[in-house]
Amino acid sequence: MMTKKSIAVVGSLNMDVILQIMELPEAGETIQTQKSISYAFGGKGSNQAVSCARNGTQVSMIGCLGQDRYGEQFEKMLQKNNVDTRFVKQLANENTGQAYILLQSSGQNSIVVSGEANRLLTTEMIQDSLPVIRDSDFVLAQFEVPLAAIEESFVLARANQSKTVLNPGPVIEGDFEHLYSLTDIIIPNETESEKLTGIKIIDDQTLRDSAEFFHQKGVKVVIITLGELGVYYSNSENNQTGNVEAHVVKAIDTTAAGDTFIGALLSQLDFSFSNLESAISYANFASSLAVQKLGAVDSIPTEEEVKSKIKKS
């Protein structure tokens, strides 16, 4: 392993189209936006890669863009944020992914994603990216790219003693038995956990049952984010479980909260998972900063900003 922590992110790159509204329309209702349409760099993969980089890690992005007006801008943004883009492919005659975000005045959002180029990430592209997977401490993936590509990246990671991290969002249809067996850490929110396990989280027991579902599939560490209720974690290797409280603030935009959390978490987490609780606490501080700004990438804090907030708490 490299002296400086290194992370490979296999994931999506979307241009976010943000529509600010008072509240979601009812069926058949037409509403007006409160402000003009705004655009921001996003996608779960891109957000998580930038969060890792801004919190002090060496990051490589593996994914696909279109050869359109967004593709070149996106690559420049990643490079500006110290993300290695050697294995980001710009595909001819394809569009860069887009996400349409309905941002309510409460700060909550609803998102519709059009995957476009993200859907074309292949196992061959993953194999071509072996140099960065081989040198990474963690390989991180989400469900906004094809399942076959995720599985291939985790197979290569395991073969090269890298830890694998799955953020199973948004939940898709599929058989995940093989993927679970290749996953060291899974990080769903409570809604994603319920969809995957069939267990509605209502108390401590259902949290434990949800974690046990994933442990039985071979996942060592389960981290379930619960919004304002904080984060639950379970490590089957040492039988440690716990809850880490959230840092509740007035939210302006929650779009990148989860992605900021994951990137910040991995920036701090030891390869042995020995500091899991403190890494989660750090990530909670990072997420609380992200929700106080508009946009995805633009809202992700730096390591200096997070540490400053921790000192003031």
Encode pLDDT of 187-199 as tens digits: 999 999 999 999 9
pLDDT tens for each residue of 66-82 = 999 999 999 999 999 99
- Which pLDDT band holds residue 5 (cuts at 50, 70, 90)? confident
Arithmetic mean of pLDDT over the chain: 94
Q: What is the pLDDT of residue 26?
A: 93
The predicted model scores a pTM of 0.92
Question: Is residue 258 part of an annotated ligand binding site?
Answer: yes
Question: Is residue 303 part of an annotated ligand binding site?
Answer: no
Is the pLDDT assigned to residue 1 strictly greater than 80? no
Question: Is residue 198 part of an annotated ligand binding site?
Answer: no
Q: What is the pLDDT of residue 4?
A: 61
Strands 38-42 and 221-225: unpaired
Question: Is residue 227 part of an annotated ligand binding site?
Answer: yes
Output the CATH code of domain 6-13+44-94+116-312.
Answer: 3.40.1190.20
Question: Is residue 189 part of an annotated ligand binding site?
Answer: yes
Percentage of the residues of the chain whose pLDDT score is greater than 90:
82
Q: Catalytic residue numbers?
A: 259
Question: Is residue 284 part of an annotated ligand binding site?
Answer: yes
pLDDT tens for each residue of 282-301 = 999 999 999 888 777 889 99
